[in-house]
Amino acid sequence: MMVQIPQVLDTQALRRMRETLLAAGWVDGRVTAGHQSAQAKHNLQLREDDPLARELGALIVQALLRQPLFVSAALPDRVYPPLFNRYENGGSFGTHIDNAIREHPPSGLRLRTDLSATLFLNEPEEYEGGELLVEDTYGVQRVKLPAGHLILYPASSLHQVRPVTRGARLASFMWIQSLVRDDAARTLLFDLDRSIQQLRGALPEHAALVQLTGVYHNLLRRWSQV
């Protein structure tokens, strides 16, 4: 399941974040890549222990957890502290799959990567190329979103970032350990939750709401890893 989360950050927060990042101390992005991924990764990144990365990452996590759509789709248990990357001058990241387990050295946090997420920090017209390509059941999905929008997708997906041939692509990326490990089960819960919300908006007094909400929580109880 791929889900777009619109307007995670507002215009003012985006502007401040971009201004700060443009003057940041970028390093070779391969510092966080595994052996296989390092051969395909050509970008710049903030170090995981960079105080700026921790500060901005905390703001992003707080914003995400206030987004009902994100919470419904991800059912987050833990969120890996967001990282930041920059692609320019032909920079790209070839086809790869994310590591199943990630450990954040500065904090010691260790989590299972059920979901991957990319938050776009500048507008699509500011750079050429840089599309995120994700392979899913229906083929290859090409993603290039407006600034402040986030794409959420299974971390088990093969994906890549196409070369940036003009300008610079700024983004934050992270992984989520979900309360529900299985993507198919998580998708069913998401669809059920969205249907309940629609029914609540159209027929707030309908007796089926109580029953459907009960079904949702009983399935979550059955499938959750807590």
- For 139-178, write each residue's pLDDT tens digit: 999 999 999 999 999 999 999 999 999 999 999 999 999 9
Encoded tokens for 30 = 């391969």
Was 10 annotated as part of a binding site? no
pLDDT tens-place string over residues 80-97: 999 999 999 999 999 999
Same domain, 22 and 41: yes
Same domain, 27 and 56: yes
Same domain, 25 and 69: yes
Nearest Cα neighbor of 120 from 8, 2, 3, 1 is: 8
DSSP state of 33: -
Same domain, 189 and 162: no
The number of folded domains in the chain is: 2
Range of the domain at 105: 3-178
Was 217 annotated as part of a binding site? no
Phi/psi at 94 (nearest 5 deg)?
A: -65, 175
pLDDT for 215:
98
Question: How far, in Å, CA of 188 to CA of 186, rounded?
Answer: 5
Nearest Cα neighbor of 176 from 91, 86, 71, 56 is: 71
Indicate the pLDDT class of residue 136, thresholds 50, 70 and 90: confident
pLDDT at 125 over 60: yes
pLDDT at 51 over 60: yes
Same domain, 172 and 201: no
User: Per-residue pLDDT averaged across 35-59, rounded?
Assistant: 86
pLDDT for 32:
64
* 202 against 39, higher pLDDT: 202
What is the greatest pairwise CA distance in the chain?
Answer: 58
Same domain, 119 and 202: no
Same domain, 23 and 121: yes
pLDDT at 75 over 90: yes
Q: Which residue has the tokens 């700060």?
A: 20
200: which residues sit within 8 A by CB, 6+ positions away?
Answer: 209
Secondary structure (3-state) at 103:
strand
Same domain, 191 and 84: no
